[in-house]
Structure 1
């Protein structure tokens, strides 16, 4: 997920996504369902989170008897606008958008409003919610602060060194990192902060350089679990197995890594829940039902002590 931190729109943070089928190209990749409601889903990227989110949305759309057209912007704001224009041409009932850049939203919303097609957002919400149909929101600042809180408790007042492997520069990553840095105790010093671009190969390179420059590193915050596995690999190869990693998502693989000690903690924000919420609430709002316009997705800091409480992350195929 990539967003700009400088925007005329205030963000309700999120790790998020929206509705539909993960696509491999910028334009429409098909549709599902046969009801009177047609949804256009514009996905923002290609991570495991996006894939799980879209599985949830596809399955929920079928349950709700809604037809869905899908596209993927692959982290490109220009492609996002093109995808939205394509969905508008299909005269969908509503657009569900996982934006790649918050600065893009003003133009996206204006384009849709001119065609009388409402937009439902995932991950973020605009400061003026009158501009949108609704949003499914995850508080990304809280995600970061929960991980920071775990480090604070674990460090127990000792002076410690912390490294950050961020995502792609922009709002989602910036909010995660901002929440994390703001939640650290004064005794924790951030000695490195580099973007892994939500790309495991890039994250591994960053981690290799980080541990070489800071061999006494105590903790690392990694913006998602896919990158965290690569960071763990890099640290272990460098003989830094004692560096404790905190991260976010709550996938089955991530929970297994918490259980066996590869990760110390992860913040679960269920992609399945976000996808289900986005579809059901968008349809409910279209039907003028009593549905929360802004839906906040629950978060849970997961450690070895509460693994069984973690929500299901990805729908079963």
Structure 2
């Protein structure tokens, strides 16, 4: 017995992890996902992928809806910590505020994963950096997504004058807004395009708000060359505004690949977008949490992403819609 004890002691931390993993596998594992708002098809698709993966892994899920409220999201995460769930995933509605939620989960030794957007001050956190107390950030590479959109826009813009561009942003406070814009501008600069951003307005990620913003842009700048929408949903509303105004502006989106967005590309209402796969994000998120809980992968601050091709009418088949 003494010899066995010494062998286990010599194994040190690795042995402790093995014991922890065996213990975790022996019990029912429950992991939770807190959506930004289940009114958004994107969040519903993430939740579906999360549940599908967990079912295959043999764990249980708890799905909560923050209903677009930062306060409600914080309360939901607090409640999950009190309930001592095994792991938590959430879509940060406010990247800066979310840091305190991650800190609290870490204090209670609960693995926590941020989905779709960074944690930390969106104006200060370096691009692609993952907050150290997170198990992982599972996301589209939004800098690259912006670059793909900028590349699509560059092909439509004039080379003999300064092009006029408007940006339809997502919700304020989310790091992806800055990332998508920076990637977009990087691609235009690389292509040598001379341009001016004549308007850049936030939205609540909805088609109605996208339509309202684009109506304002087209009224103020009827000669706009390109409108860049930071998600398919706003682009759908923007397409209505362009059609109503009889504008010849090109419409480029990112965070695309939705059923309605792909249909708009097919019909010529949207000139291009970038493939987004929220169900896959949900599956990757559940797997990252499960691996952390069972001790299979206890690494911190992982950046987990996937391939995101630019899509146009010519190659829609590469991006089957998941939302």
Tell me the equivalent position of 1:17: none
Q: Deviations over 1:185-218 (max 9, x none)?
A: 4422221111222122222111111111111111
Q: Find the aligned partners of 1:239 and 1:311 in 2 and give their Cα distance.
A: 31
- Report 1:122-201 matches (<5 A): 122-125=115-118, 127=129, 130-155=132-157, 157-159=159-161, 160-170=163-173, 171-185=175-189, 186-201=193-208
Tell me the equivalent position of 1:87: 80
How many residue pairs align between the two structures? 279
- The worse-fitting range, judged by mean Cα deviation, of 121-130 and 298-307 is 121-130
Q: Find the aligned partners of 1:262 and 1:145 in 2 and give their Cα distance.
A: 21
Q: Deviations over 1:270-316 (max 9, x none)?
A: 111101111122212322325984312221100122111114423xx
TM-score by length of 1: 0.82
Shift of 1:157: 2.2
Tell me the equivalent position of 2:240: 233
Shift of 1:44: 1.7
Is 1:243 the equivalent of 2:243?
no
**Secondary structure of 2:97's aligned partner:** helix
Is 1:220 the equivalent of 2:227?
yes
TM-score by length of 2: 0.80
Whether contact under 8 Å (1:281, 1:291) holds in the other structure is: no
Q: Find the aligned partners of 2:60 and 2:135 in 1 and give their Cα distance.
A: 18
Give RMSD over aligned pairs.
2.0
Q: Deviations over 1:148-199 (max 9, x none)?
A: 1111123262432211111111222222222223322442222111122212
Q: Find the aligned partners of 1:158 and 1:150 in 2 and give their Cα distance.
A: 18
Is 1:260 the equivalent of 2:267?
yes
Tell me the equivalent position of 1:67: 60
Structure 2 unaligned residues grouped into runs of 5+: 1-26, 120-128
Tell me: CA distance 1:168–1:82, structure 2 relative to 1, closer, same or farther (3 Å). same
**Secondary structure of 1:120's aligned partner:** strand
Counterpart among 302, 305, 309 of residue 311 in structure 2:
302
- The worse-fitting range, judged by mean Cα deviation, of 129-138 and 45-54 is 129-138
Could you say which structure has the larger radius of gyration? 2
Tell me the equivalent position of 1:202: 209
Shift of 1:130: 4.1
Q: Which has the higher helix share?
A: 2
Counterpart among 83, 92, 117 of residue 99 in structure 1:
92
